[in-house]
Amino acid sequence: MTNYKICLLPGDGIGPEIIAEGVKVMNAAGAKYGVTFACTEALIGGCAIDAAGTALPDETLEVANASDAVLLAAVGGPKWDTTDPAKPRPEQGLLGIRKALGLYTNLRPVQIFSALADASTLKPEVIDGVDMMIVRELTGGLYFGKRERFYDEEGAGALGARGQRAYDTLEYREYEIERIARQAFEAARKRRGKVTSVDKANVLETSRMWREIVHRVGAEYPDVELEDLLVDNTAMQLINRPADFDVVVTENMFGDILSDEAAQITGSLGMLASASLGDGVALYEPSHGSAPDIAGRGIANPLAQILSVEMMLRYSFGMTEAADDIKRAVTEVLDEGWRTGDIKDAETPADHVVGTVQMGDLVVAHL
């Protein structure tokens, strides 16, 4: 009997509620294929700040490193919002674990569940056939570059200012671009064979280097079509012709922004999962946030978390059939008309609006 060790990071807000449903589905899928999961919970984000004074306690990294995969829910909330650089912030937990585990590849699939197609704000004919994979570089660029906030003489005194200055730097090394490009081409080979590389090569030096390296790697994949697109134009094309995109590869900050835009094309952020991969333990999490406004009410949509489990089984454990089962189960539950509050519409009968736990049970029943 195979047994995998899972590090569970429920985090904040709706995190604990949705991760419980993810675990339920994970165990049910495991039971079907003779695999068991031993879960160990650890703290990350705001709850870790409250308990340990830091968003990423050392014990959490120890548990993560000793596990076969990490399942995370969400971090953050108004309680911990601050612009004071001296205070800890929940997001530091997320950024810290990405860096510490070397999770440089972030895969964000954007797909439409046909039962939910009406939820998109775009016309049905525009979103017809949307199925893309955003490959976001996750451990470099502006997010991890040198940054500083300081005071100097210039500007001091005017309008009550103390002459504050701040900067962030966008830096990439060749190998960082090379390895993410390779991930994108490999992903495209298993999909529709097209990579769109997004940059700002008309302005940024990092982007010019990005473009050169992506093309060099692309030469090793003559079977994959490669197009370059500037990031501002990409923002337009994503809503103009979303179905044309297959794999979209881009640097950390552009990927952060464009993946939210791409998620909105589906109209149901509560459905989108993500995988963060490196050379060791990988991490899986929903693309949405911690939704503090509905936390603790049992109404959050657990499907993105459940689909994160699907990605985990697929990418970390090679359990393709179990992963396909979860995907099929979710699709069937939606096709039968079951909805959580965030994905219901005017036509949803009241008796088909379900809570977090019931949605998890429905998916298990369809496995």
CA–CA distance from 95 to each of 92, 98, 103, 138 (Å)? 5, 5, 10, 9
Whole-number Å distance between alpha carbons of 351 and 341: 12
Residue 345 annotated in active site? no
SS3 call for 321: helix
Whole-number Å distance between alpha carbons of 211 and 316: 30
Considering only the stretches 218-226, 236-244, 254-262, 307-315, report the one whose residues sit in contact with Mg ion under the rule CB under 5 A. Answer: 254-262
- Which is catalytic among the residues 12, 24, 104, 143? 143
Give the residue with the Cβ less far from ligand IPM, 55 or 364: 55
Q: Does 256 bind Mg ion (CB under 5 A)?
A: yes
Residue 4 annotated in active site? no
Question: Which tokens in the block code for residue 335?
Answer: 């096709």
Whole-number Å distance between alpha carbons of 172 and 163: 30
Whole-number Å distance between alpha carbons of 321 and 325: 6
Rule CB under 6 A: which of 239-268 touch ligand IPM? Answer: 256
Give the residue with the Cβ less far from ligand IPM, 218 or 270: 270
Question: Which tokens in the block code for residue 42?
Answer: 């650890």
Give the residue with the Cβ less far from ligand IPM, 52 or 95: 95
Q: Does 238 bind ligand IPM (CB under 6 A)?
A: no
Q: Does 91 bind ligand IPM (CB under 6 A)?
A: yes
State in angstroms the smallest separation of the CB of 305 from ligand IPM: 14
Residue 232 annotated in active site? yes
Q: Most distant CA pair in the chain: distance in Å? A: 71
Considering only the stretches 216-224, 249-257, 294-302, 352-360, report the one whose residues sit in contact with Mg ion under the rule CB under 5 A. Answer: 249-257
- Report DSSP letters for 111-174, one per residue: E--GGGGGGSSS-HHHHTT-EEEEEEE-SSGGGTS-EEEEE-STTTTGGG---EEEEE-----H
Residue 91 contact among ligand IPM, Mg ion, none, beta carbon within 5 to 8 Å by kind: ligand IPM
State in angstroms the smallest separation of the CB of 232 from ligand IPM: 19
Residue 260 annotated in active site? yes
Residue 24 annotated in active site? no
Question: Which tokens in the block code for residue 26?
Answer: 């994970």
Binding residue (CB under 6 A) for ligand IPM from 56, 71, 94, 135 = 94
SS3 call for 363: helix
Q: Does 199 bind Mg ion (CB under 5 A)?
A: no
**Which residues of the chain form contacts with Mg ion (CB under 5 A)?**
256
Q: Which residues are catalytic?
A: 143, 200, 232, 256, 260
**Which residues of the chain form contacts with ligand IPM (CB under 6 A)?**
91, 94-95, 256
